[in-house]
Structure 1
């Protein structure tokens, strides 16, 4: 299957799944219809390549291309030797872009086609994988599938998570026809993990190159801020008599922006919930989620503490109260430097940091040597319907991934 034709055909297959007719963005929520359709598509694509997919009890998937016995013997290796896993995820943020996640899955399949067209046979197992609920957009826990298989999060904890509609994660998994009691994906066979991903920034654009490798992931996390006040009438309550949590939240959002700008870090309040959410009522509760990222663990802690401190000070003036709860916090991840340098030499690719979280970071933190391949994003826009990558750059990414996988499985 020619690289271009195969890649573009797969991309056309995925394009309509979960796409909003109004915004053009994607709603591929885990354990819901669109994401389930994509996981079924992955099974079909692997079957077309003679690969059998194993799906674990929460929906993580992997298919292994096993070495031919003659190749394995020539390399003096056994079936117990660790393999190389590549892949990404198929879920999206709310109203997200087409490339974040699926590009890595489609490119993994296309890279297998390239390797076979080259006549290459791996001498160690090569796996194609899909992790579920990477974005955390439904249940608030980023990289949940990979966290579960590495033990960073337990099923006992995860099953109690609720989505915006109050649905328990355990119920959502069961409704999708999955049974966690059958077990989770084993990483015993994984000696190295490689994830291809669209770049979520402009580093490669500024360098004028199509492909790069990752050096590190900034530490990042989500914190829930619960601002509590007193519900009251919007017309009859004098301004000086109010205990309005919306004011406390508004100042906190401005403080987060200022603190991040001053320190060169990242802070975003992108989601809020208001009670009672009435136009003519002072709210009783505003819940807001802070996404914060920084260049080091200490810088992240300093940033979040500065925001919390200013929020507390403002709450005292507004007559409101504040509770801050950390959710889905990930420390800094430095990818295997020797591995990155070895792979970068294959194509003279730059090695760059990223401020976005990925399953690769979870596997790396679990002690698995990990690398990431980035494909240029011409605008740098991500987590948006405007997210994009040129086909020529995507194909360059497929060829680069094939080169990397050949190097690691020869």
Structure 2
């Protein structure tokens, strides 16, 4: 079987479901485009000899029964939804690579000893409704119906109405599968590290923890012309001092710590008034929980210190505190060995700076992730792309890992 030819054919087919004239895809949860995509995926899997099943919310599995230990399942896949004007690889590549890898293994080695499954998760992105990981959370019975019963999309369509119109509904049982012995997610990196370092494969060790804050600094608004510099309580000036101090500290600590000030709102935000208030966000991430906690303490201490020195009031709201999620050591070793077989030394052991369905799975079953490079690090964008040779190498690595786990 020609891996490249099969993947390119499938990618072209599935990119058409929600495909945009200028390239890329918009395929939002329970939309017409989404419904057509999962329907086509169901048909494809049946044609290729998989045993196909939907769960209540729209997660789709395609199963090849094992010959010796069919009650033990090795699973691979990703999410079928996209962001608005997203690329053709984020999520979709993980599903299609699993199909191609399993087909390759069946042709080369025959039936596996353990069962193999392709998984298409209904949703991960949160792009249509304000809720993320709907697919994987339902897979492990973690989703609370109450969280989505009243939410709507930007056009006022209720989550429940869209779900039921697509032919799905809330799950009615609380059973969680116990047969899954490993889950491996293939994904594009969505960053520049692999491309910059000229690596073809990323061996993912874990998904970084995140702490996100909303900070409100209150100084004193005053006339821009009549208030001397020494008598000001300028909230933006205090903000810039905080940024400079913390960025320098983050740079000194080095990778893989990252720090972002992504949202800033000065008040009153006009040209001739000293800004008396500013609200801003802080996002810090690290793969090591202790290091993340230590840096977060520095973040809070620095903000408080600057506010005190400048005579300002400050409110610090930590509204996200997600712990790092580590991948399974044995699967990491298998991915590393497979990467060496396929790419020689052109691989990198690395954390993921973005969230993925694998972080939900890793809390319940042994889990691993494989990255391939993103050209210019672009993702969540119609220009998202990866060299096809790197995509093929990724599928070869996945096939090797699945072979070790299931044969």
**TM-score normalised according to structure 1 size:** 0.77
Counterpart position of 1:110: 100
Counterpart position of 2:344: none
Counterpart position of 2:163: 173
Distance change (3 Å), C-alpha of 1:383 and 1:186:
same
Distance in 1 (CA, whole Å) between partners of 2:266 and 2:160 is 26
Post-superposition CA distance 1:4-32 (Å, at most 9, x none): 2221111112334434546x454333233
Distance change (3 Å), C-alpha of 1:245 and 1:312:
same
Distance change (3 Å), C-alpha of 1:146 and 1:105:
same
Counterpart position of 2:31: 32
The equivalent position to 1:190 in structure 2, one of 180, 183, 189, is 180
SS in 1 for 2:371: strand
Post-superposition CA distance 1:94-146 (Å, at most 9, x none): 44332221111111111122123215211221111022332334445543422
Kept in 2, the 8 Å contact 1:244–1:320? The answer is no
| Superposition pairs of residues 50-199 of structure 1, within 5 angstroms | 50-67=49-66, 72=67, 75=68, 77=69, 79=70, 81-157=71-147, 159=149, 169-183=159-173, 186-199=176-189
Kept in 2, the 8 Å contact 1:43–1:52? The answer is no
SS in 1 for 2:377: coil
Distance in 2 (CA, whole Å) between partners of 1:280 and 1:48 is 68
- Which runs of no fewer than 5 residues in structure 2 stay unpaired? 342-346
1:48 Cα deviation (Å)? Answer: 1.8
Counterpart position of 2:190: 200
Distance change (3 Å), C-alpha of 1:224 and 1:170:
farther
| Superposition pairs of residues 370-409 of structure 1, within 5 angstroms | 370-409=367-406
Counterpart position of 1:361: 359
Distance change (3 Å), C-alpha of 1:146 and 1:287:
farther
Kept in 2, the 8 Å contact 1:227–1:245? The answer is no
The equivalent position to 1:294 in structure 2, one of 282, 286, 300, is 286
| 2:7 matches 1:7 | yes
Counterpart position of 2:214: 225
1:308 Cα deviation (Å)? Answer: 5.0
- Which runs of no fewer than 5 residues in structure 1 stay unpaired? none
The root-mean-square deviation of aligned C-alpha atoms, in Å, is 4.3
Distance change (3 Å), C-alpha of 1:207 and 1:279:
closer
Kept in 2, the 8 Å contact 1:59–1:131? The answer is yes
Distance in 2 (CA, whole Å) between partners of 1:360 and 1:409 is 19
Distance change (3 Å), C-alpha of 1:239 and 1:304:
farther
Of 153-162 and 48-57, the range deviating more from structure 2: 153-162
SS in 1 for 2:330: helix
Kept in 1, the 8 Å contact 2:25–2:382? The answer is yes
SS in 2 for 1:116: helix
Counterpart position of 1:336: 328
Distance in 1 (CA, whole Å) between partners of 2:311 and 2:243 is 15
Distance in 2 (CA, whole Å) between partners of 1:64 and 1:248 is 58
Kept in 1, the 8 Å contact 2:194–2:348? The answer is no
Kept in 2, the 8 Å contact 1:216–1:335? The answer is yes
Distance in 2 (CA, whole Å) between partners of 1:318 and 1:206 is 45
Distance in 2 (CA, whole Å) between partners of 1:162 and 1:360 is 26
Of 294-303 and 353-362, the range deviating more from structure 2: 294-303
Distance change (3 Å), C-alpha of 1:94 and 1:259:
farther
Distance in 2 (CA, whole Å) between partners of 1:380 and 1:274 is 31
